[in-house]
């Protein structure tokens, strides 16, 4: 009997990825079907369904489920199952008009030009994009990368059950990191773990990330460093570089029997609080009992308060998730304490002053953030040694030195501590 938390809304994982003869037959059939182009976000969602990370979904949502998800975090077709962000597939009007209800179509990835799956279309419907953005992202500002994706969608959503035919390039490109839920659960079981804290990462691990992971290990059997290897917004560090940087830190500064690394193919939506809930849903499918939720989880810019992603767990029904949040306060390096600390533990409130050469000039708290780290590295400025381990900085320096064109990284208020808590 497993000691791990059950999958979300199901006694067992429900992967939709075909294999063997069934895969060969479906691939052959797909060649003769009409193609429905998919964006990178839609492709990554399809793969998440394929590997069982989106258990118990069996396809792209219809209108009632889309609306229930936006309005009430619920999927009506699944007896009101909790789900925080719509999983939908859009199409241009001419493509939608050419498809009949009940028709099977091939799902075609625009980026790789590969057939990724098939779907039996059960519904075609339009949506209010402003409504979705207001509820999911709390904004309709087109500068928000998640809003931009929704606004660029086709005018018609297609719904239906899917069969997944490929995991794209992820298993090969991220061999050793890319992991399906069943594989992660097997590792946790072999180690005898029952409580597992997931650490969501879209940045290399700086000092605050490592500190959060070490704290989680103190209260759980182990920590699952779960890296996003899907597509990010411009200015973010690509997955290949992040994997190298995290490897460098974990291999030297963590007990190997208390940490597991994994990668997942979902694309970031930067939906802040709502995305923290989606991260919880699929981390439960991976076998995690807890999700570390720190400052500005899954946020971007100043669209969310620094701890809105923690507060939202108090706003959802108590039975929504088995997984629980492991809420962490703002963390930083304190020169007075001589160590990493948080606002719950450190009495020294002055902000540390670092000169243009990266040297400490006075004050206590050095606030750490992935955005600030990217900005310093992209501009070739020295990074204070307290910011991250030298092995991580070396990997990032190699990456930034290799860029022919520097990417501008804009700081938001919560990255610097200038915005109100």
The residues annotated with a catalytic role in the active site are 202-203
Q: Is the dihedral of CA 245, 247, 251, 254 positive or negative?
A: positive
**Residue in the block written with tokens 């098939």:** 118
Helices 390-402 and 239-253: crossing angle, nearest 10°?
160
Strand partners, 326: 292
Residue 413 belongs to what H/E stretch? helix 413-416
C-alpha dist (Å) from residue 334 to 22, 147, 195, 211, 355:
58, 37, 30, 13, 16
Are the C-beta atoms of 261 and 229 separated by less than 8 Å? Answer: no
What is the phi/psi pair of residue 376, to 5°?
-60, -45
List Cβ neighbours of 99 (8 Å cut-off, separation of 6 or more). 34, 36, 91, 105, 121, 124, 158
Number of C-beta neighbours around residue 60 at 10 A: 28
CA 280 to CA 286: how far, in whole Å? 10
Give CA torsion, residues 100, 105, 110, 115, to 10 deg.
Answer: -170
Nearest Cα neighbor of 398 from 251, 241, 250 is 241
Residue 351 CA to residue 335 CA, distance in Å, equals: 10
Q: Which residue, chain included where needed, has tokens 């199409």?
A: 91
Q: Which two tokens stand for residue 194?
A: 């029952």
Q: How far apart are CA 30 and CA 303, in angstroms?
A: 42
Q: DSSP label at 406? A: P
């Amino acid at each position: 009997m497993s000691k791990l938390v059950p999958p979300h809304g199901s006694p067992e994982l429900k992967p939709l990825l075909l294999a063997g003869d069934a895969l060969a037959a479906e691939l052959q059939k797909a060649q003769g079907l009409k193609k429905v182009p998919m964006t990178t976000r839609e492709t990554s969602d399809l793969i998440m369904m394929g590997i069982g990370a989106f258990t118990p979904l069996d396809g792209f949502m219809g209108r009632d489920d889309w609306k229930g998800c936006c309005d009430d975090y619920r999927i009506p077709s699944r007896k009101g199952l909790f789900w925080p962000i719509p999983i939908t597939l859009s199409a241009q009007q001419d493509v939608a008009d050419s498809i009949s209800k009940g028709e099977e179509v091939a799902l075609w990835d625009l980026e790789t030009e590969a057939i990724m799956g098939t779907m039996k279309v059960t519904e075609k419907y339009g949506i209010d994009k402003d409504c979705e953005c207001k509820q999911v992202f709390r904004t309709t500002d087109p500068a928000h990368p998640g809003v931009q994706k929704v606004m660029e969608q086709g005018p018609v959503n297609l719904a239906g059950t899917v069969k997944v035919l490929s995991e794209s390039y992820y298993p090969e490109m991220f061999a050793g990191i890319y992991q399906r839920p069943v594989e992660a659960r097997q590792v946790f079981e072999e180690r005898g773990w029952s409580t597992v804290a997931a650490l969501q990462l879209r940045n290399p691990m700086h000092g605050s990330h490592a500190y959060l992971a070490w704290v989680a290990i103190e209260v759980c059997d182990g920590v699952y460093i779960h890296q996003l290897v899907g597509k990010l917004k411009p200015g973010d560090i690509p997955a290949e570089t992040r994997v190298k940087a995290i490897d460098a830190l974990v291999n030297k500064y963590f007990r190997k029997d208390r940490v597991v690394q994994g990668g997942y193919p979902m694309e970031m939506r930067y939906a802040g609080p709502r995305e923290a809930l989606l991260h919880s849903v699929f981390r439960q499918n991976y076998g995690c009992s807890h999700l570390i939720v720190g400052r500005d989880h899954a946020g971007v810019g100043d669209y969310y308060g620094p701890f809105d992603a923690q507060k939202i767990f108090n706003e959802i029904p108590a039975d929504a998730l088995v997984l629980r949040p492991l809420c962490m306060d703002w963390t930083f390096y304190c020169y007075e304490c001589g160590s990493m600390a948080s606002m719950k533990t450190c009495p020294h409130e002055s902000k540390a002053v670092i000169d243009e050469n990266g040297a400490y000039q006075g004050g206590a708290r050095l606030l750490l953030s992935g955005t600030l780290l990217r900005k310093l590295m992209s501009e070739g400025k020295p990074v204070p040694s307290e910011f991250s381990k030298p092995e991580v900085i070396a990997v990032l320096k190699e990456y930034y030195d290799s860029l022919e064109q520097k990417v501008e990284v804009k700081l938001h208020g919560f990255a610097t501590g200038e915005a109100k808590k």
